[in-house]
Each structure stands twice: as structure tokens, then as C-alpha cells.
Amino acid sequence: MLFFDAHCDILFAINSSEDLFSNKNHWDAQRALSNGPFIQVFSLFAVGESASDVKAKMESQLKLALETERKYPDKLQLIRSKDDLERCLKELSETRVYGLIEAEGSEILGGSLEELERLYESGLRILTLSWNNDNDVCDSVAGQNIHNGLSEFGRKVVEKAQGLGILIDVSHSSDKTVEDVLAITKSPIIASHSNARALCGHRRNLTDNQIKAIAKTGGVIGINLCPSFLNNSGNAEILDIIRHIEHISALAGTQYVGFGCDFDGIETLPSGITGVESMKTVIDFLLKLNYPEKDVEAIAGGNFVRLLKQIL
């Protein structure tokens, strides 16, 4: 079974003595592949004193990913095109991880639409509009609402990105930003690592209306494993993950839900989850609940793959 994880911060978490293939963080390629063939979205994520500082750190992470692919093509292949994706699906390798590059925050653009073109050429395929702060593109769910949603520049960014074939991601976006993106989008959008607010009231989660609207665009929602996004108590177990899958499936259909685990971007994990190696445990749980195998395969990876076939 093919696995697809729509969000991971390992490029942020590893230090100079570690690599992507074996480390002590939540995610490494060896443990990812223990589940089976694996496509990982690698997030470019950073915190800094200024937008330019954040951009520089994100660029450094992009350089690390590209250099790793160049040095170890037998272990890592980045997906840039539909041909790359088809090669991955044909190969279904259990020795090589396939990946996509995502930027978590529009700071990486440096206020320039032309920079978006350069980043696309470098391999960027997903743009998460914001992290936990407002930027020159939009308001964050944890920000100060400086634009009341998307800025004028942000509207241009969404249009330009979608024209290039970059997927827009609204995880971390304010409710008004999500509303604005939905109003202008011409392509499917995703919430790469967000859960259902009806089950857990954290502001980072999606309302039922947002879930249905994202699905209506043809997009997919990736379940986040952060315990405080899964359960109001802040303590979570595998059953909580299943509850969010079931809620989104009931609202929109099983074809619109997947995983965006947020490995190495969260401090704690649900009980029963030790890292990326536990993904098969979640899938086995679904199968034991008598989910049809075709639905489980779609949730595990097929839904995001279907979307990529349309976007790339």
C-alpha cells in the first residue's frame, strides 16, 4: 500500500550531524519505508526575527533537500512533474522515498511574484500561505488580522501559484483567509495538516463548512497528529485520529481525507504513535474497523495522489 504524508518538518528538525535517512527525530526515510512505498511532503519551515531571516532559513532547507537528492538519487527522488509521479507509482519502491517540496509561509517569496517562478523551477509544488503569524500575503489563524484575510498581493500570489501548478494550502490560515481563497480559487486547494473543529475546538482546525468547501474544490484535508488538535483534553490516541477521519468522511466523502501528520513540527504524539513508523498501525486500525480496502488505500495515499495527477 502506498503511503502519502502531506506535511513534515524534518528539514527544520535535523541538525548538521544528522540526515534524512536515519536520525532520532519523528521522521527518517528508513522508518517511513518500513510502512511500504512512501511519498513525503517536505516542509520548508523556519522561525526568525524578520521575514528576510525566515526566508534565508527556508532557502537553506531547500538547498539541503536538493543537495540530498543530487547526492543520493537512489534514496530520494523529488516529484516535480506528472512524469515523476507516474515513475513513482510504477516503481513503488521500498528503498527510495519520493518527496515534494512545500513552503510553510509566504515569507519565502520575499514579496515578489517573480520569486514564485524561481521557486517553482527549484521544485516548490505546495505553498502553505502562512504559519502562525500574519505576512504580506494573508492573515494567520494565530495572527493580528492585519489584512482581514488575503491581501491584494496575496490574491495575486494565489492566482500566480495556481497558474504555475503550485498547490495552495490553507492550514494555519485565518477563517477569513480561507474564505477569501475559496472565493477566488480556480484549482483544488488543500489543508495539508488540519483537523475537524467540531470534534476538537482548537482554532487551527477546520469548521464543517470549510471542510465541505475544500472538498468541493476537489481538494484534500490531511489529518494532523498533534494531540491538542485531536482532542480537547490535549491527550490523544489512535482512536481520536480515526474519529477525525470518520467526521471528514461523513461530511465530504472518504476521497477528501488523507494524512498530514506534522512529524517533527509537533512536540508530542498520540498514544500508540512513536513516529512515522507507526503509520501502518493507523492503517491496520482502519482495516480492523472493516473499512473497505479501497477506501483505506485512498486515505493512506490515493487521495493526495489523485489530486497531484490533476495539479502537476
Q: What pLDDT does 15 receive? A: 87
Domain boundaries, the chain: 3-311
Q: What pLDDT does 58 receive? A: 98
Phi-psi region of 101 (alpha: psi -120 to 50; beta: other; left: phi over 0): beta
Q: What pLDDT does 38 receive? A: 98
* Angstrom distance (rounded) from CA 173 to CA 214: 13
Q: What pLDDT does 22 receive? A: 94
Q: What pLDDT does 155 receive? A: 99
User: What are the tens digits of pLDDT across the range 70-99?
Assistant: 999 999 999 999 999 999 999 999 999 999
Mark the ranges of the chain whose per-residue pLDDT is less than 50: none
* Angstrom distance (rounded) from CA 57 to CA 22: 22
CATH fold for the domain made of 3-311: TIM Barrel (3.20.20)
Phi-psi region of 127 (alpha: psi -120 to 50; beta: other; left: phi over 0): beta
* Angstrom distance (rounded) from CA 68 to CA 180: 37
Q: What pLDDT does 66 receive? A: 98
Residue whose cell numbers read 483537523: 195
Q: What pLDDT does 16 receive? A: 79
Alpha helices in the chain (DSSP H): 10-13, 29-33, 51-71, 82-91, 113-122, 152-164, 175-184, 208-216, 227-230, 238-252, 279-288, 293-297, 303-311
Return the ∠ at Cα 128 (arms to 239 and 252), rounded to 5°. Answer: 45
**φ/ψ (deg, to 5) at 88:** -60, -45
Kindly give the pairing relationship between strand 167-169 and strand 38-44. Answer: unpaired
Cell of 51: 521575514
Q: What pLDDT does 25 receive? A: 97
Q: What pLDDT does 17 receive? A: 81
Q: What pLDDT does 26 receive? A: 98
Cell of 169: 494550502
